[in-house]
């Protein structure tokens, strides 16, 4: 089922989400929620979606980067993050463009850690750890910020790069293709 996406201005986007308790993780409702979040991410062609963006105040997010995405050097398979913890590895940050389904039609340049360790539970409650780098690490940081009520605008060093999607495609994306 496709869920309604909350946009900035709706308080749920700015509220910190609570950890998913074990009894919720074990419920059929939670599995449906995860399925619906994946459907919603695909429908709106996002690479990630967090609980608060679909009016659910739980620390759950989904992400997937198709191989066709020019921002990623490698595709990222569908990943479900439950109660994630992110630890930056090293000091290196990268600047790159981001957008967000809760902030439609805008793009901005955001600094993010280049390398990190993600510790989380999968949709069935099994713990896993991955090291992520580049665009994969960027998407993880973007989604985990949502769980604390954060959006990428908060992480921008200034608003001078903030662009409407159409102008971004006209003046930025087309130039990067050359």
Residues that bind Ni ion (CB under 5 A): 100
Q: Which residues are catalytic?
A: 143
Q: How far is the CB of 22 from Ni ion (least distance, A)?
A: 27
Strand locations in the chain, DSSP E? 48-50, 60-65, 76-88, 93-100, 103-113, 115-121, 127-133, 163-164
Read off the tokens for 69: 């995405």
Q: Measured at the alpha carbon of residue 140, what is the angle toward residues 16 and 111, in degrees to the nearest 5?
A: 95
CB of 82 to Ni ion, least distance (A): 18
Residue 89 · residue 117 · CB < 8 Å: yes
CB closer to Ni ion out of 25 and 100:
100
Min dist. Cβ of residue 123 to Ni ion (A): 20
CA–CA distance, 69 with 160 (Å, rounded to integer): 25
Q: Which is nearer to Ni ion, 100 or 147 (CB)?
A: 100
Residue nearest Ni ion, Cβ-based: 100
Nearer to Ni ion, 100 or 118 (CB): 100
């Amino acid at each position: 089922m496709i869920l309604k996406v909350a946009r900035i201005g709706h308080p749920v986007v700015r509220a910190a989400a609570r950890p998913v308790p074990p009894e919720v993780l074990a419920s059929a409702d939670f599995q449906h929620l995860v399925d619906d979040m994946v459907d919603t991410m695909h429908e709106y062609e996002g690479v990630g979606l967090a609980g608060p963006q679909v009016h659910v105040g739980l620390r759950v997010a989904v992400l997937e980067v198709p191989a066709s995405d020019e921002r990623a050097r490698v595709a990222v398979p569908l990943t479900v993050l439950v109660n994630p913890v992110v630890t930056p590895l090293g000091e290196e940050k990268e600047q790159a463009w981001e957008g967000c389904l809760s902030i439609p039609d805008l793009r901005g340049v955001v600094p993010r850690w280049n390398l990190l360790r993600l510790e989380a539970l999968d949709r069935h409650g099994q713990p896993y750890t991955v090291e992520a780098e580049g665009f994969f690490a960027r998407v993880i940081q973007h989604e985990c910020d949502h769980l604390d009520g954060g959006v990428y605008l908060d992480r921008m060093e200034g608003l001078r790069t903030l662009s409407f999607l159409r102008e971004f495609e006209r003046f930025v994306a087309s130039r990067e293709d050359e």
